[in-house]
Amino acid sequence: MSNIKVSTFFVSEKISKLRWLSEYLKESDSFLSGSYDMPNCFIRMWRLQKNQHDDSYNEYVPKCTDKSRLRGDVTGMEMITEDTVVVSCSDGKLTLFKIKRGFEEDTIQQKAQTGLLHRTNINGNSAPCTGLSVCGNEIASVGEDGRLNIVDSQNSLAICRSIEADSCSLLCVLYSNPQELLTANRMGIIRMYDIRSPMEPTAAFMASCEDDMRSNYVSSLAAHSSQSHIILAGSEEGSITVWDLRKPGNPASYLSAHNSPITEIRFHRSDPSTLLTAAESGELWRWAQFSSSEADKLDNINPWLSGERTKNRIAVSCLITDLRKSVNTFDSQNSKTICGGDTEALHLVETFVQE
């Protein structure tokens, strides 16, 4: 059994992305946030500090230690190394930031920025970059112009490859492994590319939908932490579709989930058996695998690939609900999950194991 404690801290910014910083052999107390839909958008450094008021409900209080202003909404954020982060924006560019760790405060400084990676076909103006994915030194970006770009983080974000991957807006991109890349468009079509060969799709498949007569756009993609051939897609209707990339023709599983579009889907950093999903309805859910039974061991099938049996092998619990505004992003490590969205607040979820 576990107890859950949620602490809320108002920051007066709509949050689009959050990522924990990595720490060696200990739980991190520092994280990054990116804002959107504000007069001025920032990437901010935060550090959790012990609350000096002993009678307070909140054991920790986040303190902003540094910030950097951006020219558009933050649409993506991923760590490249322990002290380097890349951010995508609605201005169609990627920006690389260097993080300097301090004893009491951390700072962030812009290191490099791409030129215009995404532009409209009509007048050549900037088109929003909608998502990014990192693998080693490579960064893949997609945008509303349907273009897929791969840039080198070690060479001043120089473009390595760039193709018109789709005729409609691309919403997300994911490295499933160092050789394979997935893109998802507004119609719910996912395409797979082998980046070692000419950039042509090697496979294409569509997200499932309860209504076969309508499209169901894919809003977020995630690869299983320890079995990267298992891909999960969060969708417009709030469902999760699972594929085995070794045979991607048909979905391995389809799960009804939220009643609103899923905004982000990610596996727990420290626990590959746990998945988390966030939704526009103001929800954050945890999906945890049951302990393997003897039958599960015998059939040797990952629970996410078990079709109709998946719902009997996964325990779903609600960490946050009824915020009435979208939860856009989250990140988890050990016992702590940080999330944010349109409430203009940070929500810290702490899980305590009950003996």
pLDDT of residue 50: 83
54-93 pLDDT, tens digit per residue, is 656 777 899 999 999 999 999 999 999 999 999 999 999 9
Sign of torsion over alpha carbons 330, 303, 272, 274: positive
C-beta separation of 205 from 243 below 8 A: yes
Residue 5 inside a domain? The answer is: no
- How distant is the alpha carbon of residue 328 from its chain centre? 9
Residue 323 inside a domain? The answer is: no
Q: Which helix (H) or strand (E) holds 264?
A: strand 262-267
Number of H helices, E strands in the chain: 2, 28
Cα separation, 180 vs 160, whole angstroms = 15
Cα separation, 260 vs 265, whole angstroms = 14
Return the structure tokens found at 338: 């940080």
Residue 342 inside a domain? The answer is: no
Return the structure tokens found at 10: 């108002």
For 229, other C-beta atoms within 10 Å of its C-beta total: 17
Contact partners, residue 355, CB within 8 Å, separation at least 6: none
Cα separation, 77 vs 100, whole angstroms = 17
- How distant is the alpha carbon of residue 295 from its chain centre? 33
Residue 131's closest CA among 220, 70, 215, 34?
Answer: 220
Return the structure tokens found at 18: 């959050």
Q: Which CATH number fits the domain that encloses residue 238?
A: 2.130.10.10
Number of compact structural domains in the chain: 1
Residue 188 inside a domain? The answer is: yes
Cα separation, 246 vs 176, whole angstroms = 12
Whether pTM exceeds 0.85: yes
Q: Domain range spanning residue 247? A: 14-270
Residue 354 inside a domain? The answer is: no
Per-residue pLDDT of the chain (355 residues; tens, 9 = 90+): 568 899 999 999 999 999 999 887 788 999 999 999 999 999 999 999 888 776 567 778 999 999 999 999 999 999 999 999 999 999 999 999 999 998 888 999 999 999 999 998 767 789 999 999 999 999 999 999 999 999 999 999 999 999 999 999 999 999 999 999 999 999 999 999 998 888 889 999 998 887 776 778 999 999 998 899 999 999 999 999 999 999 888 899 999 999 999 999 999 998 889 999 999 999 999 999 886 554 455 467 888 998 878 888 899 999 999 898 999 999 999 899 999 999 999 999 998 765 4
Cα separation, 175 vs 10, whole angstroms = 34
Burial class of residue 148 in the structure, from the number of CB atoms within 10 Å of its CB (0-12 exposed, 13-18 middle, 19+ buried):
buried
Cα separation, 281 vs 201, whole angstroms = 34
C-beta separation of 174 from 223 below 8 A: yes
Q: How far is CA 87 from CA 74, 91, 168, 336, in A?
A: 7, 11, 23, 23
Residue 68 inside a domain? The answer is: yes
175-198 pLDDT, tens digit per residue, is 999 999 999 999 999 999 998 888
Return the structure tokens found at 172: 């997300």
C-beta separation of 303 from 277 below 8 A: no
322-335 pLDDT, tens digit per residue, is 898 999 999 999 89
C-beta separation of 131 from 181 below 8 A: no
What is the gyration radius of the CA atoms in the chain, in angstroms? Answer: 20
C-beta separation of 90 from 76 below 8 A: no
| Secondary structure (3-state) at 328 | strand
Residue 179 inside a domain? The answer is: yes
Residue 205 inside a domain? The answer is: yes
